[in-house]
Structure 1
Amino acid sequence: MDRQELAGFLRSRRERISPADVGLPAGPRRRTPGLRREEVAQLAFISTEYYTRLEQARGPRPSREVLAGLARALRLPDAERDHLHHLAGAPPGPPAGPSREVRPSVLDLLRRLPHTAAIVLSATYEVIAWNELAAALLEDYSALSRQERNLVRRAFLAPPSRDRLLQDPLDAEAFARAAARRLRGAAARYPDDPEVATLVADLLSGSPEFARLWAAHDVRAEPTLRKTINHPLIGPITVNCDVLDITDRDQQVVIYTADPGSPAEEALRLLSVIGTQRMDVPG
């Protein structure tokens, strides 16, 4: 662990971030640029005293959990995150399981798409980020548990009526094939991850359809270009579906858009206004 270099690196990264970058008020009395130490500590979920000792080259070696919190708080890109680990004497190794940490730039992208519904999927089809329109169009994922946010678990183990994405039989069949193929690849990439093993075991024991697809050992990609979503208030909405791979995180950004001038475009505009609120009309 290089305490002096680590201290200088943390200080330089802290000073380059403005409060607005992380959703904090600027305040009237900031004598130095960037964030205060206590703000970084708060964002990283560590004590201010501990973070101060790190910046003063007096702190103990931080754990990997602390390093992950600091990288998130300081909005470090991948190369700087790896450098942080090396300075702390804990070189980054291969991930034991699928990453659930979404890059800040990807989160910013979701927020900058006000007329487009977008979600981020982990390697195991867990929805790990979404924007407001996706919550209105698909589901308010903030109200669900991690298990309920897993789309492959819901596709094979939950009643079909629960998932707006899978109410069209053709869409459901295509998703089932794609999900089984992607999950088989994830199981090969993360053979020691208990969550992946549990997910596969639950699907094999609970779904004959998944067991049949799993037995085919198929890993070929099969893109889905359009989906029909049966919204409970607006009705069927047919949207374009594009998938962007984030290879270094083993994640996917799924983007739902409508053709210009189509009824689906009008439906998305309406959803962007009403959000996730209910439109119950008193009798």
Structure 2
Amino acid sequence: MDKRELGMFLRSRRERLLPEDAGLASSSRRRTPGLRREEVAVLAHISTEYYVRLEQGRAPWPSGEVLGGIARALRLTEAENDHLHVLAGAVRTDSLRHRRDVRPSILALIERMPATAAIVTSAAFEVLAWNDLAASLMVDFSELDPQERSLARWAFLPAAPGRPDFRVSDIAEFRVHVVMELRATVARYPDDPDIASLVEELRRGSEQFADLWERRDVQGAPRMTKTFEHPSVGSVTVDCDSLAIADQDQHLVLYTAPQGSHDAEALALLAVLGPGSRDRYPTPEGA
């Protein structure tokens, strides 16, 4: 723990923050820039004396909870929060778990892709966000409980009652990919109870997963094309591009088809039919 540098860093972040940025009333009588120490202490839910000692380099090692409160009070960025914990000689408690929050800019982006089915997945293959075309092509994720939006569970475990199922051409390759990625995810988040629980559930529920898990493979590339079997429009073959959102440890997965192709026309039809088309528009017999 670098007490001196920690204190100087805290002071620099405090002095740059305007009272109104922290939801406090501004006052013309302030003689120094930024927030007062007592205001930061209140916002961080710690004593003023302890915060003063932190800035002066005289306080004992702060807990992760205290550092988290200070980071929120000072409106620290992700990089600043990381730096704060490094200076304090601590590990960020929120970094022990994989992230499920999706940046608003990513949510806005996928909504502006009318001809592209797009989803955002977590490091544990949970579908965190999607646009309407993805819901039409795959399944209406909004009708599922968050736990049921797991592509890893869909790949290896029987469908839960009431959960729509969808078939893809590369399920065998996808299963291998899931296991490889989960191996790497466990290494990055060894103390995340949700990931540990997911892996244990898959090992108990799928002999195939258990066998693949014991191989300890951690490298592999997913197929770049995928064919969905849809009850309304039949087979839809799409290009599959997975783009890393590095700071969130998430992936933006895009499903597209060449312009003017039969598959592009099928996607356009699904965009018109909308989410839930699997149930509302079943394939006619003999089609």
| TM-score, normalisation: structure 2 | 0.69
Which residue of the partner structure matches residue 107 of structure 2?
107
State how far apart, in whole Å, the 1-side matches of 2:89 and 2:17 are.
15
Separation in 2, partners of 1:246, 1:264: 27
The correspondence of residues 212-231 of structure 1 with structure 2, limited to 5 A, is: 212-231=211-230
Return the match for 1:9 from 11, 17, 37: 17
In structure 2, C-alpha distance between the alignment counterparts of 1:61 and 1:276, rounded to whole Å: 43
Report the 3-state secondary structure (helix = DSSP H, G, I; strand = E; otherwise coil) of the residue aligned with 1:209. helix
SS in 2 for 1:59: helix
Contact 2:44 2:69 in 1 (8 A): no
Matches within 5 A, 1:266-281: 266-278=265-277, 279-280=280-281
Alignment partner, residue 50 of structure 1: none
Letter in 2 for 1:104: P
Query: Is the Cα contact below 8 Å between 2:40 and 2:70 reproduced in 1?
Result: no
Cα RMSD, aligned residues only? 3.6
- Paired AA for residue 230 in structure 1: E
Deviation of 1:273 after TM superposition, in Å, equals: 2.1
SS in 1 for 2:251: strand
Partner of 2:142: 142
Q: Which amino acid aligns with 2:180?
A: R
Specify the SS of the correspondent of 1:184: helix
Give CA deviations for 1:37-80 in whole Å, capped at 9, x if unaligned: 69xxxxxxxxxxxxxx9996573415688789899xx9x86446
Contact 1:225 1:240 in 2 (8 A): yes
Q: Is the CA contact (8 Å cut-off) linking 1:122 and 1:251 kept in structure 2?
A: yes
- Cα offset for 1:134? 0.9
1:3 CA displacement: 9.1
- Residue identity opposite 1:202 in structure 2: E
**Whole-Å Cα distance in 2 between the matches of residues 55 and 138 of structure 1?**
52
Cα distance change, pair 67–137 in 1 and its aligned pair in 2 (3 A):
farther
Rg larger in structure: 2
- Report % sequence identity: 42
- Checking the alignment, whether the CA contact within 8 Å between 1:123 and 1:186 is kept in structure 2 is yes
Q: Distance in 2 between matches of 1:250 and 1:141?
A: 21
Secondary structure of the corresponding residue to residue 128 of structure 2 = strand
- Matched length: 237
Distance 1:150 1:260, change over 3 A: same
| SS of residue paired to 1:191 | coil
Cα distance in 1 between the residues matched to 2:37 and 2:259 = 53
- Asked if the contact 1:97–1:192 (Cα under 8 Å) also holds between the matched residues in 2, the reply is yes
Unaligned 5+ runs, structure 2:
1-6, 25-35, 46-64, 283-287
Q: Aligned equivalents of 2:38 and 2:12: distance in 1?
A: 8
Q: Letter of the aligned partner of 1:106 in structure 2? A: I
Task: Give, in angstroms, the shift of residue 276 of structure 1.
Answer: 1.2
Amino acid at match of 1:249: Q
Give the one of 42, 50, 57 matched to 1:59. Answer: 42
The Cα of 1:7 is off from its aligned counterpart by 8.8
Q: Describe how 1:239-254 pairs up with structure 2 within 5 A.
A: 239-254=238-253
Question: Cα–Cα, structure 1 residues 82 and 192, in superposed 2: closer, same or farther, change >3 Å?
Answer: closer
Residues 178, 13 of structure 1: alpha-carbon distance in 2 compared, 3 angstrom cutoff: farther
Q: Counterparts in 2 of 1:51-200, with a 5 A limit?
A: 59-61=42-44, 78-79=78-79, 93=92, 95-159=95-159, 162-164=164-166, 166-168=167-169, 171-200=170-199
Q: Which moved more, 1:3-12 or 1:191-200?
A: 3-12
| 1:105 Cα offset (Å) | 2.2
